[in-house]
Amino acid sequence: MATTTTDQVQVQIERVSALIEEQGLTKEDLMTALRQIMEIRAFENNIANLLSKAVLKGASHLYAGQEAVAVGAISALRDDDLVTSTHRGHGHAHAHGDKVAKTPEAKQEHFNKMMAEVLGKATGYCKGKGGSMHIADVEHGNLGATGIVGGNIPVAVGAALAQKLMGTDRVVLCFFGDGAANTGNFHEALNMASLWDLPVVFICENNQYAMSVPWRKASKLSSIAHRACAYGIPGETVDGMDVLAVRSVVSKAVERARRGEGPTLIEAITYRYYGHSHSDPRAYRTREEEAEWRKRDPIIILKNAMQSINWLTEEEFERLDEAVQRKLEKAMEFALNSPDPSPDELCTDVYAPSPWTQADIEAERALRERVRNDPNMRQISYAQALQEAMREEMLRDKRVFIMGEDVGLYGGAYGATRDLYKEFGEWRVIDTPISEATISGAGVGAAMAGMRPIVEIMYVDFTPLAMDQIANQGAKNRYMFGGKTTVPLVIRTEGGAGRAIAAHHSQSLESLWTHFPGIYVVMPATPYDAKGLLKAAIRDDNPVMFIEHKMLYREKGPVPEEEYVIPLGVADIKRPGKDITLVTYSRMVLRALEAAEILAQEGIDVEVIDLRTLKPLDLETILTSVKKTGRLVGVTEAYENTSFINEVMAQVNDHAFDWLDAPMVRVAAANVPVPRAEVLEDLAIPNVNRIVEACRKVVS
């Protein structure tokens, strides 16, 4: 065993003293750091024990060994700064929660709520709905953890963008592992953050293994920090087992960000003591390797540092250890005695409450009738209606901004944002790189941090590139975090066929988005609907996928000049009738109305219902109509296989089967990629003749 020389001791004392002086630290600061590290370790060891006894179910990714990174980094923050975390996030959650809790009672309560959440109890931070991988305390700046590797990086960029737009000097810390550094989210997010000099510090905890793959097998570069040069930002590597070293490097990066100088990428070299998860046998690494890393344990390093300058005695350390164990015992007692979530909680917190009242719905219904019956009302295009909606909401609420590819001078979809760019400037109408995932994820983060983004994705065909950020972060965060956050985000996109631009730019993918709880889907057919629904979507506190049909932008229709909104979840009977209920939406509304006029000449009276919003779905209007007509035809431009109209038919079957006088019929797109050739494209999607034939069939 190597002996410690007097010179080595002196070097240690000088190093520790320099770090303490540089950061202006006191003995109390170091005692706090040591306590937090020991509490995280005790928490994780306890979780490991519960998993081994099958007391705890589900996945838990333990942070033991990496505590110095969370504690050192978060100690460099102000209480009003923000953090985003990962599936291995207990350490981040504890270091942050303990920092913002100011009394011993509050600190114990925080520890209790963490333990309860991991055990799935109603008293947890997220009411037991998030669990180990999704602890959040959004109210106090912890924007939450994600179970998707790298999923939090775009969210952090959006939270930092919100700070820039709001003019604060708050900073965002973004934690992720070495595995996330190889995802597209990492590269897209660092590029966007560096481009805009956003106040975000990226902290990669390189614990040597992404699950079981060592870094040397995942990258040609030896260091993740070396990647920073590709984005024109500083990259630093730090000993992630040394809390003082971590705090020093992160403090400088935080102050740099706070001065408006942009992001920093920090690679903290660390080690996880447990496997990736409880089921991991760790066969890919040796016991000798683990033992060598344990010699550099964060507790040992800080304890030795404090003792080297006479700031810690063995008695003090023992008392601290006893206090940590008592705190853990209280947290376990609290969690075990806490109730499970009530069954009544199953369906709560999926959506933020609707801002619309029955009076709003009645007012819009009256306005709708006036619009239809006023021959002198102005006629404007669908595109102009969208532009008016965005302009009015941007004037009304300074938190509203637009972000997307080519939304500036090019104007985005059919030039709808060009004039807005000229009027509001480049920081209210923001041109982005081609980065669908980070555009959407940044929208999620900005929304959670207090803004109301309108994100434009050029074609609905491209939205699957952003599916993780919209569906797994934006749509689920409110529920996973126990209803303690809102994500007021609008994703504008265009869908549908008709321009002969083939399969990658012509799909109707709305059913992808109706599938996910937590997000609304809106598909207006007329200029009147487009304006009123977009205004409502911008004011809503939920994510809204707002899909415009590319063949409708030049369509004109009556739109009142006065202020109005159309509450989400209210269908419109575009044509009353008594023989058939025809349910449709978007461009198919126009074709359905044409078909209805042809059928009227044959004595068949068709009621055309425009859903306007697929989620929320106005089932009541559909059922009322079906109970009157006894027949239903559903029309959609989406693929017949799993299209949303199938869900409408299933709901009618469940709730109005006894009123049906004939089998329901659907008219949908062929189950083929949309072809380029016009003759084939026309065959692939519903036309007026197919709708007419379906209606004849249902009455025959």
Catalytic residue numbers read 436, 505
| Residue 655 near residue 623 (C-beta atoms within 8 A) | yes
Amino acid identity, residue 126? C
Reported in sequence order, the residue ranges of 556-617 that DSSP labels E, i.e. its strands, are: 556-558, 572-575, 580-584, 606-610, 613-615
The token duo for 135 is 């602890």
Q: Which residues have C-beta within 8 Å of that of residue 174, sequence separation ≥ 6?
A: 83, 84, 152, 153, 156, 157, 200, 201, 202, 203
Output the CA–CA distances (angstroms, integers) from residue 603 to 42, 379, 580, 588, in the order listed.
78, 32, 12, 22
Give the HSE-up count for residue 8: Cα atoms under 13 Å, Cβ half-sphere. Answer: 5
Name the DSSP class of 637.
E
| Residue 136 near residue 481 (C-beta atoms within 8 A) | yes
Q: What is the spatial distance between Cα 99 and Cα 39, in angstroms, rounded to a whole number?
A: 13
CA 35 to chain CA mean position, Å = 33
The token duo for 92 is 């981040």
Q: Looking only at Cα atoms, what is the longest distance across the chain?
A: 104
Q: What is the spatial distance between Cα 171 and Cα 82, in angstroms, rounded to a whole number?
A: 6
| Residue 391 near residue 443 (C-beta atoms within 8 A) | no
The token duo for 573 is 């009977």
Q: Give the H or E element holding residue 152.
A: helix 152-166
Counting DSSP H helices and E strands in the chain, the numbers are 24, 22
Q: What is the spatial distance between Cα 95 and Cα 80, in angstroms, rounded to a whole number?
A: 14
| Residue 665 near residue 635 (C-beta atoms within 8 A) | no
